[in-house]
Amino acid sequence: MGITGIYKCDLVVFDGCKVEEIDVGFNSDYWLKLAADVNNSYLKFVYKQLISGGENPNSASTSRKEVQLAVSAQNIIHVENVEFC
């Protein structure tokens, strides 16, 4: 909301049985704190890593595609067992 300039929106939640609509107002104090925290995190972690030119020892060596294939192969999500109202 802070990026787009929208100061009011509706949060729509569907729980499988009903739809709830909740009015959400923009909180400028929260946005300013969040923007500052994101900026600080970027400078502390991302920018620092970019300018160092080194490899991050904490980065994952597994690609997203490999994870998706492993999850799909295990059939972790059983949609057929979900009951709606």
- 43-81 pLDDT, tens per residue? 888 887 778 776 666 666 667 777 777 777 665 555 566
Residues 35-52 pLDDT 10s: 999 999 998 888 877 787
Q: For the whole model, what pTM was predicted?
A: 0.48
The pLDDT value given to residue 77: 53
Confidence band of 34 (pLDDT split at 50, 70, 90): very high
Per-residue pLDDT tens digits for 11-33: 999 988 899 999 999 999 999 99
DSSP string, 66-83: HHHHHHHHHT---GGG--
Residue of 28, 35, 36 whose CA lies nearest to 7:
28
